[in-house]
Amino acid sequence: MKKGFFTVLLLVSFIAEAVLCIVLYNKLEDVKQDVVSVNACLKQVENNYGDEDSYLTDLDYTLIDNEGNVTFKTADGLSETVAEAVSNSDSIVDIEVDGTIVGKMIVHNTTSDLVAHYKALLIGGIAGISFLQLAVIACSFIYIHKTVTEPFRKLNDFAVRVAGGNLDLPLTMDKAHVFGSFTEAFDMMREELRKARQAEKEANDAKKEMVAKLSHDIKTPVASIKSSSEIGYEISKDEKTRHYFNLINEKSDQVTTLVANLFDSSVNDITEIAVTPLEYSSDILVQIIKNSDYLNKAGSFEVPESQIYVDKLRIQQVFDNLFMNSYKYADTDIDVECHVESGYLVVSIKDKGPGAAENELPLLREKYKRGSNSSGKDGAGLGLYLTDYFMNEMDGKLVIENAAPGLKVSVYIRTVEG
pLDDT at residue 1 in the model = 47
| 281 in the same domain as 223 | no
Strands 344-350 and 61-65: unpaired
Residues 238, 281, single domain; the answer is no
Higher pLDDT, 303 or 248: 303
Nearest to 62 by CA among 42, 47, 36, 43: 42
Q: How confident is the model at residue 263 (pLDDT cuts 50, 70, 90)?
A: low
For residue 3, being part of any structural domain is answered with no
pTM given for the model: 0.45
Is residue 394, in this structure, part of any structural domain at all? yes
Q: Which residue has the higher pLDDT, 263 or 31?
A: 263
Distance (Å, whole) CA 382 – CA 289: 20
379 and 298 together in one domain: yes
Sheet of 70-73, strand order: 70-73, 61-65, 100-107, 91-97
> Please, are residues 128 and 5 in contact by the beta-carbon 8 Å criterion?
no
Between CA 334 and CA 409 the distance in angstroms is 11
pLDDT at 180 exceeding the cut of 70 = no
The reply to whether 198 falls in a domain is: yes
Selected residue with higher pLDDT from 174 and 274: 274
Please write the tens of the pLDDT for every residue from 94-104.
888 888 888 88
User: In the prediction, which pLDDT does 167 show?
Assistant: 66
pLDDT surpassing 50 at residue 253: yes
Work out the pLDDT band at 81, boundaries 50, 70, 90: confident
Percentage of the residues of the chain whose pLDDT score is greater than 70: 80
Count how many residues are written for the chain.
Answer: 418
Rg of the chain taking only CA atoms, in angstroms:
54
Tell whether 40 is covered by a domain: no
- Give residue 95's pLDDT: 84
Q: What is the pLDDT of residues 208-219, one digit of tens each?
A: 666 665 665 575
Predicted local confidence at residue 312, as pLDDT:
92
Q: Please choose, from the candidates 386, 393, 415, the residue with its C-alpha nearest in 3D space to the C-alpha of residue 311.
A: 393
- Count how many domains the chain has: 2
* Domain co-membership, 289 together with 215: no
- pLDDT confidence of residue 43: 85
Residues 279 and 334 in one domain: yes
Do 280 and 251 fall into the same domain?
Answer: no
**Is 405 inside any structural domain?**
yes
Same domain, 192 and 288: no
Asked, for residue 364, whether it belongs to a domain, the answer is: yes
Looking at the chain, the number of H-run helices and the number of E-run strands are 10, 10
Q: Which of 246, 266, 286 is the last residue of a domain?
A: 266
Supply the CATH number for residue 282's domain: 3.30.565.10
The whole-angstrom separation of Cα 418 and Cα 414 is 13
Claim to verify: residue 281 and residue 399 sit in the same structural domain: yes
- 279 & 262 share domain: no
Is residue 66 within 8 Å of residue 102, measured between CB atoms?
yes
- Taking the C-alpha atoms of residue 326 and residue 33, their distance in angstroms, rounded to an integer, is 116
Over 80: is that where the pLDDT of 121 sits? no
Residue range 116-135: average pLDDT? 76
Residue 311's pLDDT is what? 94
**pLDDT band for position 301 (cuts 50, 70, 90):** very high
Contact 379, 400 (CB under 8 A): no
Asked whether 45 and 65 are in contact (CB, 8 A), the reply is: no
The predicted model gives 117-128 an average pLDDT of 75
CATH number of the domain residue 186 falls in: 1.10.287
> 310-319: per-residue pLDDT in tens?
999 899 989 9
Instruction: Give the lowest-confidence range in 133-137, 349-353, 393-397.
Output: 133-137
The DSSP symbol for 373 reads G
Position 291 pLDDT exceeds 80: yes
Residue 247 has pLDDT above 80, yes or no: yes
Which secondary structure element, helix H or strand E, spans residue 256, and what is its range?
Answer: helix 239-267
Based on the domain organization, do 311 and 376 belong to the same domain?
yes
Please give the average per-residue pLDDT across 124-133, as a whole number.
78
Determine whether 263 is exposed, middle or buried from the number of CB atoms within 10 Å of its CB (0-12, 13-18, 19+). middle
Q: Which domain range does residue 234 map to?
A: 181-266
- Do 74 and 59 meet the contact criterion of CB atoms below 8 Å apart? yes
When the pLDDT of each residue in the chain is averaged and rounded to a whole number, the result is 79
Residue 33 — very low, low, confident or very high, per pLDDT cuts 50/70/90? low
The pLDDT value given to residue 223:
62
Write the pLDDT tens digit of every residue in 185-210: 767 777 787 788 788 877 776 776 66
Which helix (H) or strand (E) covers residue 107, if one does?
strand 100-107
348 plus 376 within the same structural domain: yes
Q: How far apart are CA 73 and CA 50, in angstroms?
A: 13
Which residue has better confidence, 275 or 260? 275
What type of residue sits at position 261?
N
Compare 114 and 365 and report the one with higher pLDDT: 365
**Nearest Cα to Cα of residue 338 among 414, 388, 412, 415:** 412
Asked whether residue 352 falls in the same domain as residue 319, the answer is yes
Residue type (1 letter), 335? D
Q: Among 212, 237, 266, identify where a domain stops.
A: 266
Higher pLDDT, 279 or 60: 279
Whole-angstrom Cα distance, residue 286 to residue 340?
A: 15
| In a domain? residue 213 | yes
Q: Is residue 37 part of a domain?
A: no
Four-point Cα dihedral 356, 361, 364, 365, nearest 10: 150
Contact 233, 245 (CB under 8 A): yes
Q: Which one of 241, 266, 291 terminates a domain?
A: 266
Q: What order of strands is seen across the sheet that includes strand 335-341?
A: 335-341, 344-350, 407-414, 397-402
Task: Give me the sign of the Cα torsion angle 226, 229, 235, 237.
Answer: negative
Average pLDDT over residues 356-383: 78
Q: Given this model, what pLDDT does residue 114 score? A: 67
Crossing angle of the two packed helices 284-292 and 312-329, in degrees rounded to 10: 40
More confident residue, 17 or 242: 242
Nearest partner of 106 among 79, 125, 127, 87, judged by Cα: 79
Q: What single letter denotes the amino acid at residue 167?
A: L
